[in-house]
Amino acid sequence: EVLTLLVLMSPLLWGLALQLHSAVTGSYIPGTHSIAFVTCLNEHIARDIARAIMDKKLAAYVNILPKSSALYFWKGELEESTEILLLVKTRTSKIGELSNYIRSIHPFEIPDIISLPIDQGNPLYLRWIGENVPKD
């Protein structure tokens, strides 16, 4: 039973150890921040969504990338369009709230919102993200 408990708690203990190490050394804990990718129909919609995200303090930084071509299946048919891509830098703990908020304001029936944790990066930049997106 003790061994089972230790095995089940090891991810929790590992996470706590990483946080303690980070606090002592000032190093970055991989996955603390994430980048979310959000596609938009046009630049006007992209700017409106980016500004709304920033106004809610759900991100520290949003890139608005120019038009790209997209191919996708929609309702069984192959579609082709141009889209604008948002790159949203935020805390990983905010991804759920960010996704819910974007879905509430995005004109697409099923908005394309995906995220990836940031494993590494410029420590000063990563700290800056944390300073500009409030903790939960």
Kindly report the pTM of this predicted structure.
0.81
DSSP string, 6-69: HHHHHHHHHHHHHHHHHHHH----TTSEEEEEEEESSHHHHHHHHHHHHHTT--SEEEEEEEEE
CA distance 117 to 102: 18
Residues of the chain with CATH 3.30.70.120: 31-132
Distances in Å between the Cα of 118 and the Cα atoms of 102, 111, 115 are: 20, 22, 9
Query: May I ask the CATH class of domain 31-132?
Result: alpha beta
Q: Compute mean pLDDT per 10 residues along the chain, 136 residues long, and list them.
A: 58 59 70 97 98 98 96 97 98 97 97 96 94 91
